[in-house]
Amino acid sequence: EVQLVESGGGLVQPGRSLRLSCATSGFTFGGYAVTWVRQAPGKGLEWVGFIRSKTWGGTTEYAASVEGRFSISRDDSKSIAYLQMNSLKTDDTAVYYCSRYNTTWFDYWGQGTLVTVSS
């Protein structure tokens, strides 16, 4: 069974950093891209970024709203992806989901982890 489990969310002050983890199981992690999507309270879904598999260079792409502040990495030996969030703003408050990016769609999602940026 494919599973993705996010962790690392919580309350953080503006300007500080936080790292989210996405632990996966049930599939060959190294063969897939992983993406992060967020959802602000009461709002719609917003793509944050993704990391390609090593086969495709392991490269990353990001939404303009987080470019330069957030970075995604992966540890294929542990089947875990990470979202490093720096210089956090109140607008970054959201539930953050990781998802497996299969070809061109998000086919499996984690349950999400809430990040609250507030002083």
Task: By CB under 8 A, name the one of 9, 21, 46, 114 that touches other proteins.
Answer: 46
Greatest extent of the chain over all pairs of C-alpha atoms, in Å: 42
Task: By CB under 8 A, name the one of 11, 25, 45, 59 that touches other proteins.
Answer: 45
Contact window for other proteins (CB under 8 A) among 25-33, 51-59, 76-84, 106-114: 106-114
Bridge partners for 94 per DSSP: 115
Q: Which is nearer to other proteins, 15 or 107 (CB)?
A: 107
How far is residue 62 from each of residues 42, 48, 51, 102, measured CA to CA in Å?
23, 6, 9, 17
Q: How far is the CB of 98 from other proteins (least distance, A)?
A: 10
- Choose among 15, 1, 7: nearest CA to 97: 7
Q: Which is nearer to other proteins, 28 or 111 (CB)?
A: 111
Task: By CB under 8 A, name the one of 109, 115, 116, 119 that touches other proteins.
Answer: 109
CA–CA gap between residue 101 and residue 86 (Å, rounded): 24
Q: How far is the CB of 77 from other proteins (least distance, A)?
A: 26
CA–CA gap between residue 45 and residue 41 (Å, rounded): 10
Q: Which residues form the interface with other proteins (CB under 8 A)?
A: 35, 37, 44-47, 50, 61, 63-64, 97, 103-112
